Structures are given as structure tokens and as C-alpha cells.
Structure 1
Amino acid sequence: MKKRTQFTDRDVTVLRALGLQVRLFGQRQLADALWAGDVANARRRLNRFVDMGLLQRNVVMARPLPELLSPVFVWQPGDENPDASQIAFQLQSRWRYRALRSTVIFLPTDITVNHFGGRNKTVMSAQVSHDLGVSEVWLWFCCNHPSYAKAWRGENLITDNEPGQSMPDAVLVDSNDQPAMLIEFGGDYEADRIAAFHDDAVLRGLPYQIW
């Protein structure tokens, strides 16, 4: 007889996030954030969920993430317009010399997505590094600002886009489930992409953070 798996709060946090809020997690980033750096213990637990059909394990090529301790830029309505070129320079500089390397990632299966009421996500290999960065921001909120992590709506759940609006990586919602803040993880962004993201936030009348 198989032993029944008891799900801990940490287990539910990981599975729920993958079902609703982020596309994927890296094994190392989960271990660092939620298993106190114990990769072996994290790997054992995550592989258990693979065996149960809740997660899918892949090995991909991705760039190691820069350390994320705070947003690169924060803006709210009434502030001056940002220097998009300077923000782009900061974002591009932190990615310099970060070569692709083999990375273990975990994705949700349909069972997990359907259980939490999420939507299926398409993961593109060219965007894995970016997706890991978005997940890293969510993990930072989870560990340091849990209310923000709970208010996080990943791009697969954002349905309020209209023609001319860009799709942020995430939206934080208020107690009425209305958009309250835009969240973006910055890759090798050019200044025009930063400016377009800012212009969209202005049209929405929403503050934002670029990580």
C-alpha cells in the first residue's frame, strides 16, 4: 500500500503558485527561497510531485539570474517621467557576461492547473530566463511581502487588456480584485520598451515596479 502524501503549507504554496501565478520555477531558486538552500531536500520533494503527476521536470538552458533585492525602478502617478535610457542601461548591465547554463525547472501539469482554477500556459524556451526572473520576483514577495504575493495575478489570468495596452508580467490587485499595481521583470530591455511600459501605466493610472 502506498503511503499517502501529506501536503504541507509550503507544498501548497509552490503548487498554487504554479497553478495560478507563475509559469515555472527553477529547482535552485525554490531551494534557496523556501528550503533554506537545501537543494537535495527540495529536489526530493519536487520529484515526489512529479511522480504524482502534479509537476513536470525539464532541464533547459537559461541564464543565471541577477540578485534581486529591490526594484530597479518604482513609479506612481504624479511622479516625473522616468529616464528610460538609464533604466535600460541598468537592466542590460546586470545581464552582461551571464552565459546560458543547464537549469532544472518544474512546470505544472494540467492536473495542478485545473485544481487551482488556472489556465494553461505556453512556455517558450527562448523566454525561460525571463520566466525564471518573474518567478524570482514572486518568491521575493512570498518571503518578504506575503500580501503582495497573494495579490499577484500572473499574465495568464490578466483579462483586462484592451487594444493598445501592453501585457505586464503581473498585476497586483486590491481587496476588490481590481488592478492596483503593475509588475515587470526587466530582461535586456531597450529604452523604447521601458517607455512603452511606462506610457501604458500612465493610461491605466496605475503605479508600477520594474525589477
Structure 2
Amino acid sequence: MLTGRDEALLECLTGRFRLITPALLARLWGCSEACVRRRLRALDAAGLVLTARVQARPLLDLSGPLVRWEPGGPEPDFGRVSYRLKARWREPPVTTTVYLAGRRAVHLFGGSGGRLDYPLQATHDLHVAAIYARLAEADPGQLARWRGEETLRRGRKRGKIPDAVLVDGRGRPTRAIEFGGSYGPARVRVFHRVCANARLAYELW
């Protein structure tokens, strides 16, 4: 039988972010990693989550976004933003155990899941989950407003999709959320202009 926490996790993995580590889930649940690992093993045995070993950099300390932009505000210095994004990486990738939604979870909750199509993106995907966890700690009331990239991509074949957006009570996007990784100036510029053209506020982490 699924608990409320189980359901919340599976809804996240099928529609808010792609994968998570036990340490991140312990932050979300406010309990020990040992407790989290026991529950993940049970969900894995039930075919609701999948386990994968990936190469990923250790999580950065994401205390807040590097850039906050509002419509009508000045353009950021794209070169400076890119430098700050790249300069924070100091640790090499390490083998990391992650969990993602199994096909049974997709059948129950909709959304997406299954094996990773792009395992080299694990560092990026884990940091998106870390941003979600940070929001859960800072302002849990906003979590229901979060829509993940896979949800946003449905029905769209082209164009830049942010990692997530926050929506209002009518489902309209109010703020884009993006993890910057090691973006070069051109990629920062593209992300900014997509949001600026849509008059959509954003946070670049």
C-alpha cells in the first residue's frame, strides 16, 4: 500500500523532476537516509521506481539563484553570469546511485519515466531536484505550483523548455526555473531572450 509520501515522490518523479538520490529524498521527507533507503527498496521491489548508477558531480550548495530577472528589467551580463556558473564546479563526477520512476508509476500517475535516455545529464537532473528540495525548505506552499520540463514539453516539438515553471491558480506560467550547469554566454543569452520574449520572470540557479 502506498503512503502519502510514496505518492508525492512518484508524482515528482513522473512530472516534476527525473531522478533523485536518497540524500535528497531525506531532505524532502525530513527523515534519515536509512529510512529513505528502506522505502526506496520496497518501491523498487514493487516496480514503482528504478535504480540506476550514473556518473554525476557532487551537488552544489544551492542557497539561491544566481540571477533573478523580472520583465522590464535590464539584461544580465551574459559573460559574467557564464563565468560564475562555470567557476563553481570543483569536484569531478563520481558514481552515484539514483532513483527514477518505473513504468508502473507512469501507468498510475501519468507523466514520464523509465530508463534514462541521457545518463550524462544526471548532474543537471539531480540539481533540478535539489532546487525543488530547496524550495520545499524555503516555501513549501509553492510546490503545488511547480511544473517540470517533461510536463511542459507535452505537445511541443520545438523551442527551449525551461527545467520548470511556477504557475498561478489558473495554470498560467509566472516564473521559469532553470539550472545553469556550465552554460556558456550564448546559452545564457538564449534562455534570457526566450523568457524575455514571453515576458516571463525567471530564476537561473
Normalising by the residue count of structure 1, what TM-score does the alignment of the two structures yield?
Answer: 0.89
Amino acid paired to 1:117: G
Alpha-carbon offset, residue 59 of structure 1: 1.6
Normalising by the residue count of structure 2, what TM-score does the alignment of the two structures yield?
Answer: 0.92
Mapped partners of 1:42, 1:195: distance in 2: 39
Matched with 1:88 is 82
1:106 is aligned to 2:99: yes
Matched with 2:37 is 43
Matched with 1:127 is 121
Q: 1:61 to 1:191 in 2, by over 3 A?
A: same
The structure 2 residue matched to 1:53, chosen from 47, 57, 65, is 47
Query: What secondary structure does 2:74 align onto?
Result: coil
Identity of aligned residues (%): 33
Q: For 1:1-211, list aligned pairs within 5 A.
A: 5=1, 7=3, 9-36=4-31, 38-95=32-89, 97-120=90-113, 122-158=116-152, 159=154, 165-211=159-205
Q: 1:162 to 1:62 in 2, by over 3 A?
A: closer
Query: What secondary structure does 1:12 align onto?
Result: helix
Alpha-carbon offset, residue 161 of structure 1: 5.0
Whether the aligned pair in 1 keeps the contact of 2:50 and 2:101 (CA below 8 Å) is yes
Alpha-carbon offset, residue 6 of structure 1: 5.1
Q: What stretches of structure 1 of length at least 5 have no aligned partner?
A: none
Q: How many residue pairs get matched?
A: 203
Mapped partners of 1:113, 1:22: distance in 2: 13
Amino acid paired to 1:14: L
